[in-house]
C-alpha cells in the first residue's frame, strides 16, 4: 500500500509521498513514489504513483522515453497541465491494454492512480488525480487537496486545517502530519517520506526533502502532535449526562 497527497493553495503547491510498497512480519520493501519532471524556468511537473507497481513503473518509463524524442508530444511540449493530465492518462491506458489480460488471468489487481501537480507558464498551479481508466478530477478552491492510496487515516487533519488561503509552510506541515497519522495507524505506509514545496510563479523547485526512518524532525512533530492532541482532548468538556437523560430516551430493552 502507499499514501500520497497533493495540496494546492493560492501560494503554490505541496506534494508528499511515503515509500513503502510491501509490508509484513518479515518483508518490507520501499520504492520512490514522487517524481519530478520539471524544466526550470518553464514548467514544474510532479507525479505521485499508487497501485500496481509494474503498471506505474511502465507508465513512467514511457513518459521518460518520449521526453527524449525531439519535437514529439511529451511532458515538456504540451501547452497546459490539463493536456498533460490527458496525456498521462493515455499512457496509463496504453500500459494496461498491454498487460491487463495477463494480470487478470492470474487474479492480479492492475489498478493504479496518480497525482499530477505543477504549473506551466501562463497558468495557475493545478492538481489532478488520474484514475486507472485514464480519466481524472481536479482539485479546486473548495477542495484544495487530493489523496491516493491509504487515504482515510490522514484525511481528518486535512479537512479540519486546509483552505485555499493556507500558507505553504503550514500546508507542508499539514502534509507531514497527515502522513504521520497514516503511518501511526497502518503499517503498510512508511518512510522514507518525500516532500516538495513549490512557490507560485517561481518555476523552480527550491524546497524538497526526504525523511528517513528515525529522522529527528519526523520524531519531533510526532511527539509534539500527540502531546497537543492529548492536551486538546483533556480540555474537552465531559458529557452532560443529566441534561439529556429524559430527552428522546431510547427503550434499550424493546424489540
Q: Which ranges constitute the DSSP H helices of the chain?
A: 53-67, 81-105, 155-161, 168-185, 216-235
Domain boundaries, the chain: 3-235
pLDDT tens-digit readout, 145-194? 999 988 898 999 999 999 999 999 999 999 999 998 988 888 778 888 99
Binned at pLDDT 50, 70 and 90, residue 248 comes out as low
Which has more confidence, 50 or 22?
50
Q: How many CA atoms lie within 13 A of 113 on its CB side?
A: 18
Question: Mind listing the pLDDT tens digit for each residue in 58-105?
Answer: 999 999 999 998 788 999 999 999 999 999 999 999 999 888 888 888
Does residue 26 surpass a pLDDT of 60? no
Contact 191/212 with Cβ under 8 angstroms?
Answer: yes
Confidence band of 252 (pLDDT split at 50, 70, 90)? low
Task: Give the whole-angstrom CA distance, residue 235 versus residue 248.
Answer: 28
What's the pLDDT score for residue 136?
97
Query: 3-235: which CATH number, 3.60.20.10, 1.10.3720.10, 3.40.50.2300, 3.40.50.970?
Result: 3.60.20.10
How many other CB atoms are found less than 10 A from the CB of residue 83? 13
Mean predicted confidence (pLDDT) in 19-39 = 77
Q: Which H helix or E strand runs over 138? A: strand 136-138
pLDDT digits (tens, 9 = 90+) for 185-228: 887 788 889 999 999 999 999 999 998 888 898 889 889 999 99
Containing H/E element for 13? strand 12-17
Amino acid at each position: 500500500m502507499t499514501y500520497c497527497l497533493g495540496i494546492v493553495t493560492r501560494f503554490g503547491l505541496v506534494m508528499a509521498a511515503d515509500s513503502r510498497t510491501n509490508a509484513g512480519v518479515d518483508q518490507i520493501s520501499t520504492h520512490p513514489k514522487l517524481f519530478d519532471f520539471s524544466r526550470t524556468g518553464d514548467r514544474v511537473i510532479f507525479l505521485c504513483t499508487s497501485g500496481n507497481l509494474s503498471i506505474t513503473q511502465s507508465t513512467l518509463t514511457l513518459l521518460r522515453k518520449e521526453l527524449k524524442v525531439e519535437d514529439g508530444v511529451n511532458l515538456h511540449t504540451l501547452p497546459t497541465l490539463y493536456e498533460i493530465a490527458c496525456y498521462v492518462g493515455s499512457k496509463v491506458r496504453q500500459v494496461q491494454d498491454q498487460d491487463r489480460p495477463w494480470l487478470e488471468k492470474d487474479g492480479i489487481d492492475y489498478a493504479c492512480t496518480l497525482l499530477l501537480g505543477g504549473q506551466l507558464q501562463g497558468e495557475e498551479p493545478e492538481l489532478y488525480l488520474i484514475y486507472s481508466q485514464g480519466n481524472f478530477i481536479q482539485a479546486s478552491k473548495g477542495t484544495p487537496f487530493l489523496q491516493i492510496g491509504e487515504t482515510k487515516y490522514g484525511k481528518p487533519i486535512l479537512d479540519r486545517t486546509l483552505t485555499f488561503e493556507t500558507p505553504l509552510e503550514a500546508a507542508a506541515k499539514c502534509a507531514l502530519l497527515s502522513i504521520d497519522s497514516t503511518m501511526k495507524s497502518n503499517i503498510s505506509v512508511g518512510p522514507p517520506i518525500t516532500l516538495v514545496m513549490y512557490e507560485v510563479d517561481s518555476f523552480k523547485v527550491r524546497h524538497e526533502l526526504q525523511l528517513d526512518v528515525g529522522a529527528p524532525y519526523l520524531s519531533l512533530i510526532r511527539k509534539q502532535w500527540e502531546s497537543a492532541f492529548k492536551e486538546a482532548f483533556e480540555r474537552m468538556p465531559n458529557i452532560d449526562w443529566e441534561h439529556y437523560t429524559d430527552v428522546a430516551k431510547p427503550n434499550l430493552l424493546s424489540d
